[in-house]
Amino acid sequence: MAQRHTDVCRQSLLLSNCPDEIAEAVLARAHVHHVPRGATLFEQGDRAQSVYIVVDGWVKLYRMTVAGAEAVVGVFTRGRSFGEAAAFRNDVYPVSAEAVTDCELVQVPAAHLLDLMRSRPEVCVGILSATFAHLHALVEQVEQLKAQTGAQRVAQFLLSLAPCESGACTVVLPYDKVLIAGRIGIKPESLSRAFARLKPYGVSIRQNHAAIADMGRLADFAEGDSPQIRATAQ
C-alpha cells in the first residue's frame, strides 16, 4: 500500500484509536482494490470475509425488501469503514454493498482481524468505536425519518456534505439523485420538490452543485427553528 492509503486508514474509526504497531499489524495483510462504478462488493447473506476502508469514492450499503424495493442503509466515503460487526461475529453481511462511483478501497481479511482481536485486545477498541458510529448514524437516520420533513432531511444531507461551517458554501452532490432520495428516505420524484422548498432558505441547485447562501439559516430550517416553521407550528 502507498503511504496515502495508510494515512487514510489510520484516520478511520477502525484504526484511529489503535497504537501504531497495532494499526500496522491490521494493515499488514490488507490489499488495495480499484472498484468500478456499479460493481458489487458483497451481497446480503454472504459470509463476512473482509472489512473495507474507503480511500476514494462512494459505496452504498442497502437491503432488499420482500417486495423487491431497495432500502439504502448508508453511504460511505473517504476514511469510512464498514463490515466490522459482521466480521467481529464471524457472521454474514446483513446488507449488500455496491460502488456508486469508481472507488479505491482497502480490504482487510476478516480472519486476520479476528486473529489479531484474540491476541491483541486493543484491536477490539477500534471495532467497538466503528460499530458504535454505525449505530449512532442509524439512530440519527431513524430520528430524521420520524421527525423531519423531506425538505428538512435534504437540508440536513447538504449540511453533512458542506466543506464549511458558516457563511456561504457550495456543496458537490457526490452521486445521482435517485440514490440521494433513497439515502434520505423519500421517493425520487419528491426530491425536486424538496430542493424547490429550500430555495427560500438560500439553496440553489445547478446540475450536481448546491449553492448555500447561509449555512446557519439552512441549519435552522433543518432543525425546525426557522421563523417560517415556527409560524406554521403556531
Which of 111, 145, 179 is the C-terminal boundary of a domain? 145
What angle do helix axes 150-161 and 122-147 make, rounded to 10 degrees? 140
User: What are the pLDDT digits (tens) for 119-142?
Assistant: 877 777 767 777 777 676 766 766
Among the residue ranges 32-46, 53-67, 148-162, 176-190, the one predicted with the least confidence is 176-190
* Amino acid letter, residue 76: F
Residue 231 has pLDDT above 60, yes or no: no
Please tell me whether residues 158 and 137 are part of one structural domain.
no
Please tell me whether residues 87 and 156 are part of one structural domain.
no
More confident residue, 215 or 178: 215
Please tell me whether residues 84 and 182 are part of one structural domain.
no
Which of 126, 145, 164 is the C-terminal boundary of a domain? 145
Beta bridge partners of 59: 76, 99
Confidence bin at 97 (pLDDT 50/70/90): very high
Please tell me whether residues 157 and 91 are part of one structural domain.
no
Residue 68 has pLDDT above 60, yes or no: yes
CATH code assigned at 90: 2.60.120.10
Residue 104 has pLDDT above 50, yes or no: yes
Please tell me whether residues 51 and 34 are part of one structural domain.
yes
Confidence bin at 144 (pLDDT 50/70/90): low
Q: In a 3-state reduction of DSSP, which class is residue 215?
A: helix
Please tell me whether residues 140 and 183 are part of one structural domain.
no
Please tell me whether residues 159 and 221 are part of one structural domain.
yes
Please tell me whether residues 140 and 203 are part of one structural domain.
no
More confident residue, 147 or 154: 154
Q: Which domain holds residue 174?
A: 148-233
Please tell me whether residues 8 and 104 are part of one structural domain.
yes
Q: In a 3-state reduction of DSSP, which class is residue 153?
A: helix
